[in-house]
Amino acid sequence: MSRGFPVAEYEGRLSRAQALMERAGLEALLLTTEPEVRYFTGYLTRFWESPSRPWFLIVPRHGKPVAVIPSIGAALMGKTWVEDIRTWSAPDLVDDGVSLLIDTLREVAAGPVGVPMGHETHLRMPLADFDRVRGAVEITHDHGIMRRLRMVKSAAEIDKIRTACAIAGRAFDRVGGIAGAGAPLSQVFRDFQRLCLEEGADWVPYLAGGAGPLGYDDVISPASETPLTRGDVLMLDTGLVRDGYFCDYDRNYAVGPVDDAAHRAWETLMRATQAGFDAAQPGARACDVFRAMDAIVGGGDAGRLGHGLGMQLTEGPSFIAGDDTMLEPGMVLTLEPGVALPGGGIMVHEDVIVVTETGAEQLSPKVLDRLPEI
d(CA 15, CA 18): 5
Part of the chain binding a second copy (CB under 8 A), chosen from 12-20, 151-159, 184-192, 366-374: 184-192
Among 99, 186, 268, 274, interactor with a second copy by CB under 8 A: 186
Max CA separation in the chain (angstroms): 68
Which listed range, 100-108, 155-163, 297-305, 349-357, lies at the site for a second copy (CB under 8 A)? 297-305
Q: Is position 117 an interface residue for a second copy (rule: CB under 8 A)?
A: yes
**3-state secondary structure labels for all residues of 314-355:** CEEEECCCCCCCECCCCEEEEECCEEECCCCCEEECCEEEEE
CA distance 281 to 83: 40
- Check residue 261 for interaction with a second copy (CB under 8 A): no
171 contributes a contact to a second copy by CB under 8 A? no
Residue with Cβ nearer a second copy (208 or 292): 208
Query: Which residues 55-84 are close enough to bind a second copy by CB under 8 A?
Result: 70-73, 75-76
Q: Rounded to 5 degrees, what are φ and ψ at 98?
A: -70, -45
Is residue 353 a contact residue for a second copy (CB under 8 A)?
A: no
Range 31-60, binding a second copy (CB under 8 A) = 44-47, 49-53
Q: Rule CB under 8 A: which of 303-332 touch a second copy?
A: 303-304, 307, 312-316, 318, 320, 322-323
CA-CA-CA-CA torsion sign (241, 247, 248, 249): negative
Regarding 302 and contact with a second copy (CB under 8 A), the answer is yes
Return the residue of 28, 29, 188, 204 that touches a second copy, per CB under 8 A.
204
Using CA atoms, how far apart are residues 306 and 291, in angstroms rounded to an integer?
Answer: 12
CB of 150 to a second copy, least distance (A): 12
**Does residue number 343 form part of the binding site for a second copy (CB under 8 A)?**
no
Per the rule left: phi > 0, alpha: psi between -120 and 50, beta: everything else, 62 is beta
Query: What is the rounded distance in angstroms from the CA atom of residue 33 to the CA atom of residue 45?
Result: 12
Residue placing its CB nearer to a second copy in the complex, 34 or 157? 34
- Is residue 141 at the binding interface for a second copy, with CB under 8 A as the rule? yes
Q: In the set 25, 91, 111, 256, which binds a second copy (CB under 8 A)?
A: 91
Contacts of 138 by beta carbon, 8 Å cutoff, 6+ apart: 111, 112, 113
Binding of a second copy by 242 (CB under 8 A): no
Site for a second copy in 97-116 (CB under 8 A): 115-116
Query: Residues touching a second copy: how many (CB under 8 A)?
Result: 79
Do residues 363 and 356 make contact, with C-beta atoms less than 8 angstroms apart? no
The amino acid occupying position 93 is L
